[in-house]
Every structure is written in C-alpha cells, then in structure tokens.
Chain A
C-alpha cells in the first residue's frame, strides 16, 4: 500500500471518528428550556408502531410497550435505572417499604436495597412477579413496571388506577390505563389519536410537585393532644419550599440517568457529580446565596457547634415536636392516593415521627420509626428470620380460624383477655407446619416471644424486633416555626418534653409484660445528664446575660479609668 493511500485512509478514519465524536448523543434533544410538544406513536416491545384502531390489547398479550415507545428519542435503559429506578449505590437509609398482610398480622420493612434491619425480597420468598404485584405501584423504573408516564405526564395520570392495575397483576398495562390511553378491556381511547396514530401527551421533564406526591406524601395523624386530626388536617402547613413556589426537582435533580439527588450532606452521587450545592447548606449557607438566591440564615445567638452536630433538618423538618409521639401515614406504606374508606389511624404499619436520632456520621437529625410485626423462626444458633405470609396462612387458619384480618378477628374474640393462649396455639401450629429444628416466634411491640412449652410465652433477645428508623427531610418548616425559634429553651429546658417523651412500640395483640419504650434521652442519643445540666444552666440564661453585660461594662470602664490614672501618675 502506497504512503498516499495510507495517508488517505488515516485521514478518512480521523474525519469519521471526529464526526462521530462530535455527536453528544444518539438520542434526540431539543436543547431548549421550552417543553417539547410530544405527539407520539405507541410502539410494541419490538419497536413496531401500533395502530390503535386495530390493536386490541388484552392482559397477557403483547401490545404497546412504554420503553419501546420512548426509546426512539430517549435512553430508556439509563432512565429506567438510576437511584430512582432502584439501581445505583444504596446510600443513606431511606424509607423502607412494608410487606403488609392483615391475614397473618405481618407488617415487615422490606426493600431491594441492603439497609440494616430491613428484609430483602428473597428473605421473604418474594420473586420478581410477586414483588411487582405488591410494590410495583410505587416502583417507577424497574423491570416490567417501568413507567415514564407516572412522573412525566403532567396531566391526566390517575394514580389510583395504577394501584388498581398492579393489584390485579396487570403491571404491563398499568401505565396506559392510568394515563387514560387504554381501557381495562384493552381498547385504546381512539378519539385521542389522530389519523396516523399519533397521540398528544403532556410530557414534561418536570411535571411538577403533583408528579412526586403520589409516592412521596406524608400525613400527620393524631397525637395524644390532638385526637381530632381528621378535622384539623386541612389546617396544617405544607413544605415551605413548595409554598414558596419551588418544585421537588429544583433540589432533587437528575440527568437522564435518573440518579435523583437525595440532597443529604455527604451524599456520594453515583455519577461522581458534586451535589453538595443541592443540600440545605449548599443553598442556604453558601456565601453567594446558593441556588435561586436562597435566604441565608443568621442563627443569631446559636453556638456554632450546633450546626456541626445537628443536621439542618433536625430543627427545620418534620412535624412540630410534641410531648407525645406523632403517628404518620406515608404514601407507599399506607397506599395514599387510593380512595379508601377503610384507612384509619390503626392501619398498619405504625409509623411514627420519633424525634431525633444519630446518623452514620454521628450527626443528629429527625427520623421516622416503625416496629416490625409478624411471625418468624428461631434457629438453633439464636438468629430469628421472619416468615413470609404465604407460609402462615394455613397454620393460622387452623389454629386461630383467621379469615381476613388476624388483629381484628382475634381481638373480637378476646374481649378483655390477653392473647397469650391464642399466640401460643398459633406458634405451636406454625412450628408443626414447618419442617426442621427451628422454633416459631411471634414478633410484635419490639419483642420476640416464643412458647415456654406450658401454654405461656417467654421473651427472647433478638434484633429482628428492633425498630427501623429512617431520616425525615420533609416537610421543611419555615424559620419562624423551626425548633429554636422560641429560643434555646425549645430544647434546653424542662419544658422541652419531646426529648424525654417515651416512644413506645405497640403490640398488635394484648400481651403481658412491658413494651419496648424509649426516648431520645433514654436511647442515649442525647446524653441525659448533660442535657439536664444544660437546662439547669439555661434556667438562668436571661439573668446571666444581664449580669455579664453589667460586669463587662463595669470592667471596661474600670480598666479605662485605671489606664487613665496610671498614665496621669507617670506624667512628670
């Protein structure tokens, strides 16, 4: 090959490579801040365009596929993963999901992520299809349940229909039915399509707060001081950022990879991006005013180590602390968004706002807490593993005659009696129904109980009954309603009972013996002795301020006078 040909080939290669490298992406982009008018054609899983007039889509048959529909323009593989899609690093513990089974009284924290104290799907015998049926409703980007519309369709997405379809095991059609494109008989809403099968969808990168709230609502229920929470519900204030006009994704940002920034301090973003400017501190404590010119707090009079030892959320997030625990509902745990007359303050799981706790870095922040309920097996080496509800149905039906709801049905038979005998019978039956040497146990109220072999129950030590807690970040309260707005005595006084108020587990059935009761002070989250000594000192804080101010004035004036006099003495 001559040198001229070699040079020509190298040049051709370089030109081609440069041209390809110049393309940022193979995906279509408008690169405009203005929303793109989505008039799209639906596609099947093979990427073929569907004629909505011909395709009749029934459960189980192949039909429109959302991933394939979006794929010509968007990197759906990347978008379906990411932190929001369940991929990426586990990071700081988040809200677990709850496996609820009223028939067995099971309420167990579970998640795909490996967070301590939280069961993994395989540990409770949940395969992919069982998982999707139970939890697919709030899983946006994983497996067959991948749904772009739930977050990006700004109008017309009916979340309750999504829940309904997942309950019916109809995960693949759920996005289309919830978006109103398809009815449950498999017929498309033809008037919405043009003659070429295009449909206009109001799809936005940021579809607003309403797109996030179906899965991320938290609602306060009653406290001992406020049993009329239903009546007072309309009176509560939401998140101050939302009230100010911000959208969730203004802080919880992501690219197409959907590694949505969680926004906690020290967060390691999977993409390696520095996301520190999207934390509370990043916006509010930045010298330049942070994103969108967030107001910089003065925290006048607050000793600076408070900011080092307490997360911003410690004072600014969650419900206003009360002297009693505050029960809460969350979207994912309590199926908020689904119209129901049955949801009440006793609906499991019992989640409470539990004051403050220390995170992995030792910093204090607010947490929610829940205690596991259910049944398990105690192995010979002393470990307890919770049992999947499917394994409990037969023994519980046989021993306790449970049809639909263990708690309600057993309570109705008990009257004022305790449930020791009933639980003992159930434990015996469960033990007999499962082969092996393991012993059946009952998990509730922060305790693990086993049969004593004499119609009684004995408690055994195990971490499986320990409360799981996870950090609270929202709703963010305004500065004037935060802890400390009332002065140091919000925390440093005998009146700040929320630090010492007991946070108690609750058994699903009445049992003898004490419950796991704790408080931030009892848990040694805050050292009780030091806290008490501080509030004793703070009792005289105002007097102290006057006293020290007076002493300062007298000392300075006295010193100046002394200098004046000494200078006078030294003059010739």
Chain B
C-alpha cells in the first residue's frame, strides 16, 4: 500500500513537472489548458504529499527530507500570490520560485533514490 502510494505520488509529481514545461521560459507564466492540467494534478498531489511526508516520519533520510522541504516551500511560494499577498508584478517571482524550488525538490528526490539504489 505504502509503495503504491509512493508510486502514485511520484507519478503525479512527474505529471505536474511535465505540465509546467510550457511555463518554463522566464517571464512566461503557465496559463491556459496547461495551467488547468497543472492545477488538476496538484490538487490530489498536495494531499498525497501530506500523507507521504507524515506517514514516513522517522524513516526518511536527510536528503529526501530536504527534497520534501523544497517541494513544500515551493508549494508555499505559490500560495503567496494565490492568497493575494503580493502585487501582480511580483507574482512572476513567486511563480518562478515555486517552479525552481519544485524542480530542485524533484531533483533531490531523484538523487536520493539513486543513492538508495546504489547502496542496495
């Protein structure tokens, strides 16, 4: 069950990553159908992240924990403009922060997985 949950989370993370590609060029925010797809994927993903982070307390290595923190702070950074805490012009920065932090988080997860695999 746990591994299935992990697989689904990883899969959704990957889809979220893929749907964010049209927003990659700097200054071009994700919009339209890709943004909708990203939001639809993000909705269950947020709950899965919570579940995964809290369920695996005490078993996570530092690198993976750091990866989850990056992704979580990335999630927080998108909440700032979403909740109207910033002006439109600075919204770009918050959206980009969300993107970069999430990328870094996914990257760290990958490294962590690779290290675990090599230890085995």
Contacts and interface: CB of A to CB of B under 8 A. Distances in A.
Nearest to A565: B58
B53 A558 contact: yes
A289 interface: no
B84 A301 contact: yes
Contact of A549 (B62, B71, B83): B83
A556 B73 contact: yes
A563 B65 contact: yes
Contacts of A307: 88
Interface string B28-58: 0101110010010011001101100110111
Given A545-B79, A556-B72, 10 more contacts: A300-B84, A303-B31, A304-B91, A304-B95, A545-B83, A548-B75, A548-B82, A555-B49, A563-B62, A566-B60
B36 to A, nearest CB: 6
Contacts of A299: 87-88
Given A537-B39, A558-B50, A305 B31 contact: yes
Interface string A71-109: 000000000000000000000000000000000000000
A560 B57 CA distance: 10
Contacts of A570: 62
A399 to B, nearest CB: 55
Interface of A is mostly: helix
Contact of B88 (A302, A565, A566, A567): A302
B79 to A, nearest CB: 5
B71 A555 contact: yes
Contacts of A552: 46, 72, 75-76, 79
27 contacts: A298-B86, A300-B84, A302-B88, A302-B91, A304-B29, A306-B88, A537-B39, A547-B46, A548-B42, A548-B75, A548-B78, A551-B49, A552-B72, A554-B54, A555-B49, A555-B71, A556-B69, A556-B73, A558-B68, A558-B72, A559-B53, A559-B69, A559-B71, A562-B57, A562-B65, A565-B57, A567-B62
Contact of A551 (B31, B75, B82): B75
A26 B33 CA distance: 62
Contacts, number: 115
B95 to A, nearest CB: 8
Interface residues of B, number: 44
Interface residues of A, number: 36
Interface of B: 29, 31-33, 36, 39, 42-43, 46-47, 49-50, 53-54, 56-58, 60-62, 64-66, 68-69, 71-73, 75-76, 78-79, 81-89, 91-92, 95
Contacts of B79: 545, 548-549, 552
A550 B31 CA distance: 24
B20 to A, nearest CB: 15
Contacts of A561: 57
A266 interface: no
A11 interface: no
Contacts of A285: 89
A530 interface: yes
A548 B58 CA distance: 25
Shortest 3 CB-CB contacts between residues of A and residues of B: A301-B84, A558-B53, A555-B72
Contacts of B84: 300-301
B68 A555 contact: yes
Given A299-B88, A302-B88, A548-B75, A554 B50 contact: yes
Contacts of A548: 42, 46, 75, 78-79, 82
Contacts of A131: none
B73 A544 contact: no
Nearest to B72: A555
Contacts of A554: 50, 53-54
A299 B92 CA distance: 13
A545 B84 CA distance: 11
Contacts of A545: 79, 82-83
B68 A559 contact: yes
A358 to B, nearest CB: 16
Nearest to B46: A551
A304 B72 contact: no
A533 interface: yes
B65 A566 contact: yes
Contacts of A558: 50, 53-54, 57, 68, 72
Given A548-B75, A551-B46, A551-B75, A560 B36 contact: no
A534 interface: yes
B70 to A, nearest CB: 8
A306 B89 CA distance: 11
A54 B36 CA distance: 80
A301 B65 contact: no
B76 A556 contact: yes
A108 B56 CA distance: 74
Interface in A385-403: none
A300 B82 contact: no
A566 B50 contact: no
A537 B46 contact: no
The interface centre, meaning the residue of A302, A530, A548 with most chain B CB atoms within 10 A of its CB, is A548
A299 B87 CA distance: 6
A302 B82 CA distance: 8
A301 B88 CA distance: 7
A307 B87 CA distance: 12
